[in-house]
């Protein structure tokens, strides 16, 4: 049977003031009326039944996740006592599902990405489930620009196809490149963005964790033997990302090149790009009045009127208690704002 | 005795979103905790008693004016049934005061200007009252820049001094100049800004109105004979500005060169200039966080946090229901915003 594990542990600060500790990015509505998390679940329709959908998140966000996931059994929201990066999270969820279904195939999906072409995504996901008979099948997004913000997967030799979609061996994983290297990757071809989405037989993931992160496997054994001890055991699990801990050392990975209008929506600049801009390149959400503005992103969904006059490349994001006005391209400095709020202990705004 | 008439009939749109039909500029706090109107009254302390202070305003703003003018007798707020420009307004207020005090001297002051140096202003006002024995004494602000936004008064021959301040004949009134002419005026000297502030014996103003705008004088006669008919008579009064209707044709004017940190605060750009900027040239009011910002003006007094990132020359003005984000120097385009709100009949925001 097919299962999906949505990883909703994010606590990013790059979407301040819309994102807060209590409402990280996966709960924001970017590119849709619904939250990114709700969209992540909604686009599984027809591929995986809702009762096979699991979400891993922190205690602070569990209720919010349940609210956003109508139709998903509340007990499928798995609450991590503390974040230990993705390897323990995926290992734990895999054990959870394995206990019910030894033949489970699981797709792991981030909760906070945007996908424009839902139908194509569903077709790719279906193909990846089919392909994942005894391998971990990663999606590799076919690049359309020399992006320096993502890690890449270099595809290896062809390994047939699944439902018409080619599947390749993984030649190697590549760290985020510099601009020149990214240009080279794009020109050369065969380099795919690592979107952090993959499908695997539960048993294979469990075996690969045992093979490559045996300490984690032992921790998961202890947890399985005494689930009530989660608050003492979970915080001791090996803290490691699945990519370096399992995917890179594993010889059982495949990559499926894919394109379905994916964005990891890493910043306000990226958020603008998931919307259709008007003739002046502007994206205006809510009650906005623009006068002499080009390539602006104005989010007035908090309800107040926002008038912008004579500014190009402006980003304005309003919320009931805080407002961000930023030059496009300065997204990374939002972190500085949040750092200053933290330093000033402005907890109401964090 | 000395009297002051504050002209508070303004209904400007240049300070949207802070200014609205119900709260024009004179009720805004710019450069001070108090409103411009309240500051205008407050800086008369020691020069004119509060019970000799009159305010002319529209019906929509009379209560607001009374609220702002603690200590001023409520009946001293004179309510125009409709705006007819400054000549009828001043003529009417002058008659009002003349009826009580045939020897009154009156200073006319706009309600919506900023004056940095209150003590110097008080000294100048005192000197102007002294000088206004049988003339209309205008303040001529000594320019510190080649301003094209004001009309000028060219001073004529010296006519002695009052309390040490020189007084001159008025050579002529000059319309708002172009940039080159303004430069010439500044270099040449003797050209003063017409700030719309003047002191006169009530009797002299009344005589000059009779001499130069006889139709207005007749209207004022009718109004004086039947004050209850104000709603029918006032709207028929000659609609004219005092400058062209009385000051320019009159031979009974003098000008007193003055400097006391005056600004007519004609726009958000000008509003910034009445505040002390920080080392980066920024003026931040309220709860503001700036990151990589120079020469900004951010008004967060509506209470929400405003964070601005990576933008120079930015103007941000927040209110509970509307927000303006503007490039400095684009103040004139605020009118376009208001025009569009009017066209859309967004009455709540006007």
d(Cα B282, Cα B98) in Å, to the nearest integer? 48
> B314 touching A, CB under 8 A?
yes
Instruction: Give the count of beta carbons closer than 10 Å to the beta carbon of residue B74.
Output: 10
CA-angle at B349, arms to A20 and A307, nearest 5°: 55
Return the beta strands (E) in B116-182 as ranges. Answer: 136-141, 152-162, 165-174
Q: Count Cβ–Cβ pairs < 8 Å, chain A vs chain B.
A: 112
Token pair in block for residue A262: 């994916």
Q: What is the distance between the alpha carbons of residues B69 and B53, in angstroms, rounded to a whole number? A: 10
Of A12, A10, A197, nearest to A115 by C-alpha is A197
Q: Can you give the residue ranges of every domain in chain B?
A: 2-263, 268-349
Residue A11, pLDDT score: 74
Smallest CA–CA distance from B299 into chain A, residue:
A323
Whether residues B330 and A310 touch (CB distance < 8 A) is answered with yes
Chain-wide mean pLDDT for chain A? Answer: 96
Alpha-carbon span B80 to A306, nearest angstrom: 34
Interface test with chain A among B18, B284, B303, B304, by most A beta carbons within 10 Å: B304
Residue in chain B nearest A310 by alpha carbon? B327
* Reported CATH class of domain B2-263: alpha beta
- Interchain contact A291–B (C-beta under 8 A): yes
pLDDT tens sequence across A262-317: 999 999 999 999 999 999 999 999 999 999 999 999 999 999 999 999 999 999 99
B12 pLDDT above the threshold of 90: no
Subunit contact A330:B289, Cβ cutoff 8 A? no
CB contact under 8 A, B327 and A309: yes
Under the banding of pLDDT at 50, 70 and 90, the label for residue B160 is very high
Interchain contact B338–A (C-beta under 8 A): no
Where does the pLDDT of residue B73 fall: very low under 50, low under 70, confident under 90, or very high at 90 and above?
very high
| Distance separating alpha carbons of residues B285 and A196, to the nearest angstrom | 44
> Which residues 6+ apart lie within 8 Å of B207 measured at CB?
none
- Rounded distance between C-alpha atoms, residue A300 and residue B9, angstroms: 34
Task: Give the pLDDT band (50/70/90) at residue A10.
Answer: confident
Length of chain A, in residues: 350
First to last CA, chain B: 41
CB contact under 8 Å between A305 and B336, yes or no, is: no
Tell me the pLDDT band of A113, cut-offs 50, 70 and 90. Answer: very high
Task: Name the strand (E) or helix (H) holding B239.
Answer: none
Distance from CA of A126 to the nearest CA of B (A): 43
In whole angstroms, what is the distance from residue A133 CA to residue B324 CA?
57
Q: What is the pLDDT of residue B10?
A: 78
The per-residue pLDDT for range B330-344, each reduced to its tens digit, is 988 999 999 999 999
Q: Could you tell me if B37 lies within 8 Å of chain A, comparing CB atoms?
A: no
Counting Cα atoms < 13 Å in the Cβ hemisphere of A276 gives: 2
pLDDT of residue A171: 97
Task: Give the closest of B289, B309, B330 to A327, CB-based.
Answer: B309
CA-based R_g, chain B, Å: 21
Non-local CB neighbours of A157 within 8 Å, separated by 6+ positions: A168, A169
Report the alpha-carbon distance of residue A177 to residue A165 in Å, rounded: 27
Q: What are phi and psi of A271, to 5 degrees?
A: -60, -40
Amino acid B85: pLDDT: 95
Residue B11 has pLDDT above 80, yes or no: no
- CB contact B174 to A (< 8 Å): no
Please, which residues bridge with residue B305 across strands?
Answer: A322
Q: How far apart are the first and last CA of chain A?
A: 41
Candidates B306, B330, B336; nearest CB to A323: B306
Of the candidates B115, B119, B107, B125, which has an alpha carbon nearest to the alpha carbon of residue B34?
B115
Confidence band, pLDDT 50/70/90 cuts, at residue A13:
confident
Residue B212, token pair as written in the block: 């130069």
Cβ <8 Å between A305 and B346: yes
The size of chain B, in residues, is 350
Q: Which residues numbered 4-33 in B keep a CB inside 8 Å of some CB on A?
A: 16-17
Cβ-in-10-Å burial (0-12, 13-18, 19+) of A305 comes to buried
Mean pLDDT of A81-85: 94
Predicted local distance difference test score (pLDDT) of residue B13: 82
Q: Nearest-CA neighbor of A243 among A151, A181, A178? A: A151
A-chain residue closest to B307, CA distance: A324
User: Do residue B330 and residue A309 have CB atoms under 8 angstroms apart?
Assistant: yes
The per-residue pLDDT of chain B, averaged, comes to 96
Enumerate the H helices of chain A as residue ranges: 36-42, 62-68, 86-98, 118-131, 179-188, 202-212, 214-225, 230-233, 242, 268-273, 334-343
Which residues on chain B are in Cβ contact (under 8 Å) with A299?
none
Residue A282: φ, ψ to 5°: -90, 145
Task: Write the residue in B289, B320, B326 that is nearest to A337 by C-beta.
Answer: B289
Q: What is the 3-state secondary structure (H, E, C) of B279-295?
A: CCCCEEEECEEEECCEC
CA of residue B245 relative to chain centroid, distance: 18
The CA–CA distances, whole Å, from B294 to A112, A329, A343, B231, B267 equal: 34, 17, 22, 51, 19
> Are residues B324 and A307, on separate chains, in Cβ contact within 8 Å?
yes
- CB–CB contact A333 B292 (8 Å): yes
Interchain pair B327, A305: CB under 8 A: no
Q: How far is A28 from chain B (nearest CA, A)?
A: 19
What residues of chain B lie within 8 A of the CB of A327, using their CB? Answer: 309-311
Spell out the long-range contacts of A75-80 with Cβ–Cβ below 8 A and sequence spacing 24 or more. A76/A51, A78/A54, A80/A9, A80/A56, A80/A234
**Which three-class secondary structure state does DSSP give residue A344?**
coil
Residue B337 in contact with partner chain A when CB distance is under 8 A: yes
% chain A with pLDDT above 90: 97
Chain A hits for B292, CB-CB cut-off 8 Å, are: 330, 333
Residue of B nearest to A309 (CA): B326
CA distance B248 to A48: 85
Q: Does B87 touch chain A (CB under 8 A)?
A: no
Phi-psi region of A189 (alpha: psi -120 to 50; beta: other; left: phi over 0): left
**What percentage of chain B exceeds 90 in pLDDT?**
97
Question: Of B277, B290, B230, which is closest to residue B92 (Cα–Cα)?
Answer: B230
- Nearest-CA distance from B195 to chain A in Å? 29
Residue B192 burial (C-beta neighbours within 10 Å; 0-12, 13-18, 19+): buried
Residue B223 above 80 pLDDT? Answer: yes
Band (B141; pLDDT cuts 50, 70, 90): very high
CA distance, residue A283 to nearest chain B CA (Å): 15
Structure token pair of residue B144: 């510190």
């Amino acid at each position: 049977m097919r299962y999906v594990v949505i990883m909703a542990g994010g606590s990013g600060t790059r979407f301040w003031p819309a994102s807060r500790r209590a409402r990280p990015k996966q709960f924001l509505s970017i590119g849709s009326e619904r939250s990114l998390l709700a969209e992540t679940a909604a686009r599984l329709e027809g591929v995986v039944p809702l009762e096979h959908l699991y979400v891993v998140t922190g205690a602070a966000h569990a209720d919010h996740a349940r609210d956003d996931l109508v139709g998903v059994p509340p007990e499928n929201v798995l609450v991590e006592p503390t974040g230990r990066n993705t390897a323990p999270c995926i290992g734990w969820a895999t054990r959870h599902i394995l206990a019910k279904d030894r033949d489970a195939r699981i797709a792991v999906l981030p909760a906070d990405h945007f996908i424009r072409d839902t139908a194509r995504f569903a077709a790719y996901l279906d193909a990846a489930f089919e392909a994942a008979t005894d391998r971990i099948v990663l999606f590799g997004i076919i690049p359309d620009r020399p992006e320096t913000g993502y890690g890449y997967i270099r595809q290896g030799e062809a390994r047939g196809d699944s439902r018409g979609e080619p599947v390749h061996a993984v030649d190697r994983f590549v760290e985020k490149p510099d601009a020149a290297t990214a240009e080279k990757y794009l020109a050369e071809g065969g380099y795919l963005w690592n979107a952090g989405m993959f499908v695997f037989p539960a048993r294979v993931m469990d075996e690969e964790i045992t093979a490559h992160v045996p300490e984690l496997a032992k921790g998961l054994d202890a947890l399985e033997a005494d689930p009530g001890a989660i608050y003492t055991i979970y915080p001791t699990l090996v803290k490691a990302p699945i990519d370096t801990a399992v995917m890179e050392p594993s010889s059982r990975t495949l990559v499926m090149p894919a394109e379905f209008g994916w964005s990891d929506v890493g910043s306000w600049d990226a958020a603008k790009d998931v919307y259709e801009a008007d003739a002046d390149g502007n994206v205006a959400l809510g009650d906005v009045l623009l006068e002499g503005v080009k390539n602006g992103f104005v989010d007035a969904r908090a309800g107040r009127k926002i008038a912008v006059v004579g500014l190009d490349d402006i980003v304005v994001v309003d919320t009931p208690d805080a407002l961000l006005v930023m030059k496009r391209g300065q997204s990374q400095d939002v972190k500085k704002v949040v750092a200053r709020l933290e330093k000033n202990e402005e907890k109401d705004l964090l």
